[in-house]
Structure 1
Amino acid sequence: CAIHYKFNLPRAKQTERIIRAMDHPAFSILAHPTGRMINEREPYEIDMEQIMAAALERGCYLEVNAQPVRLDLNDRHCKMAKDMGVKVVISTDAHRTTDLDFMRFGVGQARRGWLEPEDVLNTRSLKELKKFLRRTSS
């Protein structure tokens, strides 16, 4: 799930909107959580600590988007996720096969935020991933 419109909502409303989306039974991962696009668009106003607490409570993951124009979550948010016990997924947000090379940027971003393999869903074994997928598809 991701925010693709209404970027200018007040902080409390945008935060509430994201948390409400997390309550949907099909929700599992919040993509590009702040919506930032480096040198193009500022992040939308959200209470990241409240969003992370909600993600932890609901067993949701936050994306570390590896697109060079995004790198969203930033390193401070990655560290906050680590400290709060919130798990992440590193994604290239690939729109073409060459974008898969961006994974190294996402890994670098996660490392800058002190995330370790056990904090990242897509470092898990196939068996663990299948268990996650069964849980989120039911």
Structure 2
Amino acid sequence: TDDVLGDLHMHTSATDGQNTIVEMADAAIERGLKYIAITDHSKRVTMAGGLDAERLLKQWEIIDEIRPQYEGRLVILKGIECDILEAGGMDLPDEVLEQGDWILGSVHYGQKQPRDQITDRILGAIENPHVDCIAHPTGRILNRREAYDVDMDAVMQAAKENNKFLELNANPARLDLNDVHLAAAKKRGIPIVINTDAHVTDGLWVMRYGIRQARRGGLTSADVANTLPYEAFSKKLAEVGS
């Protein structure tokens, strides 16, 4: 797990996580990480106390305030796991999203919609200039919930065309993308980020399951964007959408 230098999906006590930003940041340093993104839920996820625009911007202000104390040790990105709404479109306005550093798009609701509808929702998110990455792209939860019916070929094509990242969610209950999708993404040259989706400091340690899954899909560290030092990663991030 030493190859992975960044973790770009985690939650805090502002929504359904158990720890503060500072606690997550300190745990990330202990884990050997060099950069993280704080990505709490957006408002559509009411059961997790998702953030509306006002609360999110307040959280981003707090991140700005605490960054100096991590100077040279850890880069903290201002992020959000923003829901892709059932009718399409994002859960927060573009003028809010554009102020963030790292925007995940994800589907939590309407998972039983027809294939075309779910696919169109995700394609719409990929085409949004402020969305950087699609989180747990098929929504599966092992032994509990099948992946939703989505045209992954179309999703990958759009990710490639729009220079977007796809997430391999390392949570052992998800491991989403699966090995077949990972192999297909590698073939197309789509950058994968392996994230823990941690909701507690100990959750940062599930990264190893994601790495194992990546290997199962034939990926090497060269295929995983968050193995890059932050400077190189941020260059890649700057190319998103171009």
TM range (shorter): over 0.9
Judge which range, 92-101 or 126-135, deviates more: 126-135
The alignment's TM-score, normalised by the length of structure 2, stands at: 0.54
- Alignment-derived partner of residue 101 in structure 1: 205
Summarize deviations over 1:38-94 as a string: whole Å, max 9, x none.
Answer: 011110000111100100000001100000110000111111111121111000000
Kindly state the Cα deviation for residue 135 of structure 1 after the two structures are TM-superposed. Answer: 5.0
**TM-score calculated relative to the size of structure 1:** 0.94
Question: As a proportion of its length, which structure holds more strand?
Answer: 2
Which of the two has higher C-alpha Rg? 2
Q: Tell me which of 64, 67, 71 is aligned to 2:175.
A: 71
SS at match of 1:43: coil
The aligned counterpart of 2:215 is 111
Query: Which structure is higher in helix share?
Result: 1
Cα distance per residue 1:9-62 (max 9 Å; x no partner): 111111111001111121111000000000111100001111001000000011
Alignment of 1:1-138 (within 5 A): 1-134=105-238
What amino acid is the match of 1:28?
A: D
Residue type at the aligned position of 1:48: M
Counterpart secondary structure, 2:106: coil
Which of structure 1's runs of 4+ aligned residues deviate more than 4 A? 133-136
Taking only aligned residues, the RMSD between alpha carbons, in angstroms, comes to 1.2
Q: Report deviation, 1:119.
A: 1.1
* Aligned length, in residue pairs: 136
Unaligned 5+ segments in structure 1 are none
Q: What SS does structure 2 have at the residue aligned with 1:73?
A: coil
In 1, Cα distance between equivalents of 2:238 and 2:167? 19
Identity %: 46
